[in-house]
Amino acid sequence: MWITRNNELGFIHIPKCAGTGIKRSFEAMPEDIRRTWGLVNFISAHCRYNTWNNKQAERIRYARIEPKKWFTCVRHPIDRAVSYYYFQIASDQKRLDENKIRKWPKETFEKRIELYRSIGIDDVVTWSKRFQRELAAINPNDKDWIEWIDKQGILDAQHLYIEGCPNLRIYKTEKIEKLFKWLQEDYGLPIENTVANTSEHKTYQKELQPNTIDILYNKYKQDFEQFEYTI
């Protein structure tokens, strides 16, 4: 979750929904603009609205009142799950290449990459019981590791991040240019779109088994309905 310094806007960053690119666009604005409109991280990058709403003590301590307007980006639920699979492998490999190993030992990241590749995308995106067992076997005595598995990585449904949020504008990553047009026209921001649209073509149908698509549709049914996506 990021909030502008002037408290005009709050951005709820749903994982794998263009949030990092949007943040880069804000950071690329001129310095004098960023003094007012720069994004400040609050609580955590992927903080849900309900978590924010319940953190009254922290909000008072850091003088973070409710922003005048919230916005977020959503993505086709199955496309998002597929994106997560490739993101996790690439992210772990980058950690290893740059020797930026934190929280768990190097071997944990190496084994996670190996497992993701060997077990395949269908087990990962459905977070199958088999996949969870093999994940747990990588680091069975580490409570943080087991907790991460129980949380299903970053594959929680998108609607959970914005439940109860007032004054919220929702944009789709497939039409991300609409978000930047709003920021430019309604707020006069000299912000450029540095985020490529995610494809509207359902390429996941070539990567996933039909049964996997059915499982994901049922898992994310509310996201499909609330954000008007189709299989």
Give per-residue pLDDT as tens, 40-68.
Answer: 887 788 889 998 888 877 776 666 788 99
- Rounded-to-integer distance, Cα 54 and Cα 227, Å: 25
pLDDT the model gives residue 198: 58
- Rounded-to-integer distance, Cα 28 and Cα 39, Å: 11
Whether the predicted pLDDT of 11 surpasses 70? yes
Which token pair is 94? Answer: 């980058």
Whether the predicted pLDDT of 204 surpasses 90? no
pLDDT the model gives residue 74: 97
Mean pLDDT for 95-108 is 89
Mean pLDDT for 170-178 is 95
The full 3-state SS of 149-161, as one line of letters, equals HHCCCCCCCHHHH
Other residues' Cβ atoms within 10 Å of the Cβ of residue 87: 15
- Rounded-to-integer distance, Cα 195 and Cα 174, Å: 10
pLDDT the model gives residue 206: 86
Mean pLDDT for 7-29 is 94
pLDDT the model gives residue 217: 96
Q: The whole model's pTM is what? A: 0.90
pLDDT the model gives residue 202: 60
Query: Which of these, 84, 58, 65, 67, lies nearest to 157 by C-alpha position?
Result: 84
For the ranges 42-46, 72-76, 200-204, the lowest mean pLDDT is seen at 200-204
